[in-house]
Amino acid sequence: MEKFEVKILGCGSALPTTRLNPTSQIINFRDNLFLVDCGEGTQLQMRHMQLKFSRLSHIFLSHLHGDHCFGLIGLISTLGLLNRTGDLYIHAHPDAGKVFRPLLDYFCAGLPFEVVFNPIAPQTHSVILDERSYRVSSIPLKHRVPTCGFLFEEKPGLRHIVKESIDFYQVPVKMLLPIKEGADYITPEGKVIANELLTKPANPARKYAFCSDTAYTESIIPYIEGVDLLYHEATFSEADKARAKQTMHTTALQAAKIAEQAQVKQLIIGHFSARYTDLSGLLAEAQSGFVNTVLAKEGHTYRV
Minimum CB distance to a second copy, residue 25 (Å): 18
Minimum CB distance to a second copy, residue 7 (Å): 16
Q: With binding defined as CB under 8 A, does residue 47 bind a second copy?
A: yes
DSSP string, 121-136: -TTS--EEEE-SSEEE
Q: Which of 82, 177, 197, 284 binds a second copy (CB under 8 A)?
A: 82
Cβ atoms 45, 303 nearer than 8 A: no
Q: Which of 1, 55, 66, 86 binds a second copy (CB under 8 A)?
A: 66
Which of the ranges 68-76, 212-220, 225-233, 264-272 carries the binding residues for a second copy, by CB under 8 A? 68-76
Q: With binding defined as CB under 8 A, does residue 247 bind a second copy?
A: no
Say whether 160 sits in a helix, a strand or coil: strand
Of 31, 67, 87, 278, the catalytic one is 67
Q: With binding defined as CB under 8 A, does residue 106 bind a second copy?
A: yes
Minimum CB distance to a second copy, residue 201 (Å): 44
Minimum CB distance to a second copy, residue 41 (Å): 5
Residue 67 designated active-site = yes
Whether cis (ω within 30° of 0) applies to the bond prior to 213 is yes
Cα→Cα distances 139→8, 56, 148, 214, Å = 20, 22, 5, 11
Site residue total, a second copy (CB under 8 A): 30
Q: With binding defined as CB under 8 A, does residue 14 bind a second copy?
A: yes
Residue 168: CB partners within 8 Å, gap ≥ 6?
none
Q: With binding defined as CB under 8 A, does residue 113 bind a second copy?
A: no
Q: With binding defined as CB under 8 A, does residue 186 bind a second copy?
A: no
Q: With binding defined as CB under 8 A, does residue 239 bind a second copy?
A: no
Question: Could you tell me the end-to-end alpha-carbon distance of the chain, in angstroms, rounded to an integer?
Answer: 11
Cβ atoms 34, 151 nearer than 8 A: no
Say whether 102 sits in a helix, a strand or coil: helix
| Per-residue exposure over 190-220, b if at least 16 CB sit within 10 Å of its own CB, e if not | eeebebeebbeeeeeebbbbbbbbbbbbeeb
Chain residues that interact with a second copy, rule: CB under 8 A: 14-18, 21, 40-41, 43-44, 47-48, 64-66, 70-71, 73-74, 77-78, 81-82, 95, 99, 102-103, 106-108
